[in-house]
Structure 1
Amino acid sequence: MIIRKISLAVSVFFSIAGFAQDVVKTDTEIKSEIKISYLDSVKNTFVKNDLAIRVDSLWMNELTSLDIYDDLTKDIQTINKDITVDQELPTELLKQRLQVMNEKSPFEIEYNQGLENIIKSFLKNRKKSFSRLMALSEYYFPIFEDAFAKQNVPLEIKYLAVVESALNPKAVSKMGATGLWQFMYATGKQYELKIDSYIDERSDPLKATAAASEYMTKMFSIFGDWELVLASYNSGPGNVTKAIRRSGGKTKYWDIRNYLPKETQGYVPAFLATMYLFEYHKEHGINPERAVVKNFETDTIRIKEKMSFKQIADLLDMPQSQLELLNPSYKLKIVPFYQNEQHFLRLPKDKVATFVANEDKIYAYAKYDSGIYKMPSRLAQKVTPKVKAKPVKVPEPLDLESYIVQKGDNLSSIAQKYDVAVADIKEWNNLKSNALVLGRSLKIKPKDLVSKNSQEVIKKPTEGAIASAETADKNEIEVEYVVKSGDNLGNIAKKFGVTLADLKEWNNLTSNNLALGKSLIVSKKETTVVETTAVASNSIDSFKKKATSAKTIGEDYYVKKGDSLYSISKKYPGVTISDIKKWNGIKDEDIKPGMKLKING
């Protein structure tokens, strides 16, 4: 009996081992058939070095957002220094703090009612903006201080960049002034900042700050007063000298302020108010947001060949927006190569290590990618046969009920209440996002009417009838997530394996702020729904199961509104953006709704 059990155990053991070998062999055979792109084959040979923390994408969005710049610019241009603002800040306490600032600053900081009104206005309306600005300052202020120290310019002038551009290197005024220091074209050329089709060094933090420092030094040698230097920076030295003459020869800013242009009258007080808020932010409950990266966590490398941000981002596995953030002076998202000139690229230090260790392979791929023949998009449209979209008649929703949005409601909770899909509610009410307004009336079709109408679309089958497919429409299945306490876009994107850009695009978000309880679309999967003339079963559920199929390589794809090459490539396992562009002769990711794309596999 014991021998029989031992024999049985041995036979089972060898059977399992043989089955495992078959499984391993099958997996090996399947893996060997998978073809990878040239880009992936190059990246697989890279030497990896993890030396620094990657730049946080939420912080990148803050740095490239123009919201604060627009708000502060409007405030400075329209603020009335003579209107008293109701904000808790005792005048005597403010006078004491301004005196302390004055003692350790070359600026003559003295109390006046206009300055108090502007400080209180910023405290009342811009506390959140200053919290974000202080996070950005951790990246930019070291650059400014280094440049100013070389020219003996007061370090406090770093606060002027907050007033000028809200610390945004891509800021452009209505008059065309550009960059952190808002140089006009002529002034930029005067201080030897390169401006051409590829490059605008007015947006380069290092070079533009050096030019601003040189300007400040020259103006101080003329006026001998730092407040007048700031006034000349805003309105030009000519307007300052006119104001001096009109005031009867007075040479202090506060004495000539009323003779300066209206914007300049609020310009220096706004600068001093900004300095005050940075100095006393703790006392006013302004908590700086976290700055994930510091300037010393990045470094530069010299680029020896012309490369696009797209190529670099693909090779280094980093967002293209991150490259744009760290290298704002490259206008066309291309690092050019000029004879006898040097061009540099700023990267996080871990990416610098990867680039340097694999430099030859990176340049070889860039040369290969740039050398692929790509048909111009206009020519491609001419030679591509025009495909007329088959019109699909969508029946008007009938017997709709009205629902008034109440406090705490979101689309997900309302859909659950009526046992319908969120996508249906958005379609019935022509909603482009998941945002709801309190008190809005929503049209809802009850579940029984939805089922009834669905059955009317499908022709009632006769007994033993065979199902035949007539048409196929592309639909998207949306997965939704309700925001909880402690959530932010970064951890939600990581949780569902998607990018921040996708989350913001799917949900029409213009900022990174999230409301507790908000319903977010966190995944979109495309399915093919087949409309049949007859079905073999009376079960609608059975029909739906047969009607859904995943995307497969080897078919044609018709571009829909809102599509991008990135989102399309995500629908096909193993397919990259470069593959789609190569198969279809696409240049610069130029696609339009209705365009037919080949997915060759």
Structure 2
Amino acid sequence: MIKKIYYLALLFILPVLSITAQDNFESEVPVKPVLKLSYLDSLKTTFIVDEMTSCVDSMWLNEVTNLQTYDEMYADIKNIDPDIPVDFELPTDLFKERLRLLDEKSPFNIEYNPQIENLVKNFLKNRKHSFERLMGMSQYYFPMFEEALAKYNVPLEIKYLAIVESALNSKAVSRVGATGLWQFMYQTGKQYGLKIDSYLDERSDALKASDAAARYMSGMYRIFGDWELVLASYNSGAGNVSKAIRRSGGHQNFWNIKKFLPRETQGYVPAFLATMYIFEYHKEHGIVPNKAIVNHLATDTIAIKKKMSFKQLSDLLDIPTSQIEFLNPSYKMKVVPYVTNHTNFIRLPKDKVAVFTSNEDKMYAYVDYEEGKREKQFVPKPRVKIIKDSTGVEQNVEEAIADNASSKPITKIKYHTVRRGDVLGDIAEKYDVSITELKKWNKLKSNNIQLGKKLKIVSQVNSDLAVNTKPSKVQIAKEDKVIVQNDKTSKQETKTDADTKVEEHVVKQGETLTTIAKTYRLYVADLKKWNNLKDSNIKLGDKLKLKASEEIVASNETEKESTLYVVKKGDNLIGIANNNNVSVDDLKEWNNLTSSNVKVGDKLKIEKASTPVIAENVKKKSRYEDLKTYVVQKGDSLFMISQKHQTTVAEIKKLNDLQDENIKPGMKLKIKE
């Protein structure tokens, strides 16, 4: 009795000791550090996952994307001589009976021919494994083919043609560039509405290419009225079939015109009929189709709202990229593009579609995250200028902007009249703007500017400057940055103001016209004009005038008044400008005209100076003194007119402000005498 009690005690004590020991052992083992999850992994932990299992085996995908079967089928059609008998156990009588049964349920005229028998025996003897693979893939593709063929009332047996064409490989490309399941050429694909661009090639899209093939077959049947001839035309073109019919003396049976067709087409229709026979009687020959790992009904499409790569979809959905590529062969770059006003779709297994739709926002968030890691174009930071305020404290430009944030900018426009010697670079430098801005404001397509043209100059000033008559504390600097300055002018400002009041400058050692013009913010052309210089050569000690004559200043400061001119029959801008002593460019600017075309009855605004316009307007007028008017006659061209008046087409176009060489009878052209 005592022994029994002892054993029972041991039974209760040992488990307790083992548990205690285990706890002590576990407490001594160091805890492994928790690995930090990547953004993708942490995102996927929040996914709502459908419990359906994946319906595509990645190993099978390697088989269906292999081009070996396509190469073998193409070589058989091209090289096998169907007239050579093949040693294979298939009684001829039995073969004839099976063909007769096929003919009864098919719109094709299926008749016994020794060439078909030899081709069938060759396939059964040498390509049995290939047909097992093809039958496995056909369970995915054939439902799509049959849907398209039935839509256009085309025999469903034509689905076997895709096996002869591409061996059911959507990536198949022939030696001449035919692409996809139905081997469309580039131009034929475009003709039937298949989109082909850098990202997309719908010749590889099973649904859209099948629809195009069915439309082609339906159209060819309306021409030939025989399905075997339709198949021949699909391979070699309708023209070759028509020529074969004529060369045969008008026969319209494939076997009667066969020898007049291209060699590849001669084996094309027999290969189609042999393929049809093997698919229909595969059980009788012991051919077991491979397992259909995926079928059309087990997949679905979803619209993509952002550009996504196959790699991103693979990472997010845990699906091999080869599987996505198999289901979506039309995307050449393995990228689903996003195009405005156009929707692109991606085909996925249904369980993956469920995951995508349940977590769509997270999918696109990951795409944005990946896009954010891409290197962007380098944009240099603006230089920070250190300036002083009225108290002498240094301050950078950004702080100055913040101090004046409440000030609203006011846009001001002024005009510069182009003078002789002016170029865009000098004008831009004078007004502290860029050449690009000048061209944009004045709609210039090149750097060429006409003498007398008025250029628009746009500037912005702070609203405080518009109402404050005292010396301002704010100036607008380059790049629209505000620079705070002292109320009292700096030494440099005093020097600049003093320099601009000087009327003469004595040339010093090493100085040139360019450096002098920059110092006083003047044009080189003005300096040459005011000092009667024929070139830019100046000598040490020369005295240069730094101010325009009073007459020129007066001409620029004259007030102007406006009048209206009503366009009459036969008028053009050149004549109106001459009669009113103004330029064509001024007329266009005053009336917001973009071309030189005016209509009878148009009212044109003309600005005239209240005082006599001297100097520049006199030059404009003299420009047209040696011109005469020519009325365009019927049959005239600018070249004929230029030859008649010993001038050039370019000169006539320039004088009459013509954009092209189109002229009409009755037009009045200015011709230089």
Cα contact 2:55–2:298 (8 A) shared by 1: no
> C-alpha offsets along residues 76-117 of structure 1, whole Å, 9 cap, x if unaligned?
011112111111111111111100000100000000111111
Q: Could you tell me how far apart the structure 2 residues matched to 1:101 and 1:310 are?
A: 47
Secondary structure (helix, strand or coil) at the match of 2:210 reads helix
1:211 is aligned to 212
Q: Could you tell me how far apart the structure 2 residues matched to 1:197 and 1:367 are?
A: 23
User: Alpha-carbon deviation of 1:267?
Assistant: 0.3
1:156 is aligned to 157
1:326 aligns with 2:331: no
User: Alpha-carbon deviation of 1:31?
Assistant: 4.3
Percent same amino acid at aligned positions? Answer: 61
> C-alpha offsets along residues 185-211 of structure 1, whole Å, 9 cap, x if unaligned?
000100110111000000000000000
Q: Could you tell me how far apart the structure 2 residues matched to 1:136 and 1:190 are?
A: 29
Residues 340, 93 of structure 1: CA spacing in aligned structure 2 closer, same or farther, 3 A cutoff? same
Residues 4, 302 of structure 1: CA spacing in aligned structure 2 closer, same or farther, 3 A cutoff? closer
The one-letter amino acid of 1:119's match is V
User: Alpha-carbon deviation of 1:9?
Assistant: 6.7
Q: Specify which of 15, 21, 27 is matched with residue 22 of structure 1.
A: 27
Secondary structure (helix, strand or coil) at the match of 1:302 reads strand
Cα contact 1:180–1:205 (8 A) shared by 2: yes
> C-alpha offsets along residues 154-176 of structure 1, whole Å, 9 cap, x if unaligned?
00000000000000000000100
Residues 6, 220 of structure 1: CA spacing in aligned structure 2 closer, same or farther, 3 A cutoff? closer
1:247 is aligned to 248
The one-letter amino acid of 1:256's match is I
The one-letter amino acid of 2:189's match is G
> C-alpha offsets along residues 550-573 of structure 1, whole Å, 9 cap, x if unaligned?
xxxxxxxxxxxxxxxxxxxxxxxx
Residues 109, 37 of structure 1: CA spacing in aligned structure 2 closer, same or farther, 3 A cutoff? same
2:525 is aligned to none
User: Alpha-carbon deviation of 1:140?
Assistant: 0.5
2:95 is aligned to 94
The 5 A counterparts of 1:369-518 are 369-374=370-375
Cα contact 1:52–1:297 (8 A) shared by 2: no
1:66 is aligned to 67
5+ residue gaps, structure 1 = 377-601
Residues 96, 10 of structure 1: CA spacing in aligned structure 2 closer, same or farther, 3 A cutoff? closer
Secondary structure (helix, strand or coil) at the match of 2:302 reads strand
1:338 aligns with 2:339: yes
Q: Which has the higher contact order (CA 8 A, sep 6+)?
A: 1
User: Alpha-carbon deviation of 1:15?
Assistant: 3.9
5+ residue gaps, structure 2 = 378-673
2:175 is aligned to 174
Residues 267, 10 of structure 1: CA spacing in aligned structure 2 closer, same or farther, 3 A cutoff? closer
Secondary structure (helix, strand or coil) at the match of 2:348 reads strand
1:221 is aligned to 222
**Under a length normalisation based on structure 2, what TM-score does the superposition of the two structures give?**
0.53
Q: Could you tell me how far apart the structure 1 residues matched to 2:13 and 2:256 are?
A: 105
**Under a length normalisation based on structure 1, what TM-score does the superposition of the two structures give?**
0.59
1:123 is aligned to 124
Q: Could you tell me how far apart the structure 1 residues matched to 2:125 and 2:214 are?
A: 32
> C-alpha offsets along residues 268-309 of structure 1, whole Å, 9 cap, x if unaligned?
000000000001111111111111111111111111100000
> How many equivalent pairs are there?
372
Cα contact 1:52–1:349 (8 A) shared by 2: no
Q: Could you tell me how far apart the structure 2 residues matched to 1:317 and 1:160 are?
A: 35
Cα contact 1:182–1:202 (8 A) shared by 2: yes
Secondary structure (helix, strand or coil) at the match of 2:235 reads helix
User: Alpha-carbon deviation of 1:226?
Assistant: 0.5
Q: Could you tell me how far apart the structure 1 residues matched to 2:67 and 2:213 are?
A: 22
Q: Could you tell me how far apart the structure 2 residues matched to 1:21 and 1:141 are?
A: 61
2:284 is aligned to 283
Q: Could you tell me how far apart the structure 2 residues matched to 1:60 and 1:150 are?
A: 30
Cα contact 2:164–2:271 (8 A) shared by 1: yes
Q: Could you tell me how far apart the structure 2 residues matched to 1:135 and 1:6 are?
A: 63
Cα contact 2:86–2:118 (8 A) shared by 1: yes
Secondary structure (helix, strand or coil) at the match of 2:283 reads coil
Secondary structure (helix, strand or coil) at the match of 1:344 reads strand
Q: CA RMSD in A?
A: 2.3
> C-alpha offsets along residues 372-416 of structure 1, whole Å, 9 cap, x if unaligned?
03599xxxxxxxxxxxxxxxxxxxxxxxxxxxxxxxxxxxxxxxx
Residues 20, 341 of structure 1: CA spacing in aligned structure 2 closer, same or farther, 3 A cutoff? farther
Secondary structure (helix, strand or coil) at the match of 1:301 reads strand
1:39 is aligned to 40
Q: Could you tell me how far apart the structure 1 residues matched to 2:72 and 2:240 are?
A: 26
> C-alpha offsets along residues 456-512 of structure 1, whole Å, 9 cap, x if unaligned?
xxxxxxxxxxxxxxxxxxxxxxxxxxxxxxxxxxxxxxxxxxxxxxxxxxxxxxxxx
User: Alpha-carbon deviation of 1:14?
Assistant: 7.7
Cα contact 1:66–1:168 (8 A) shared by 2: yes
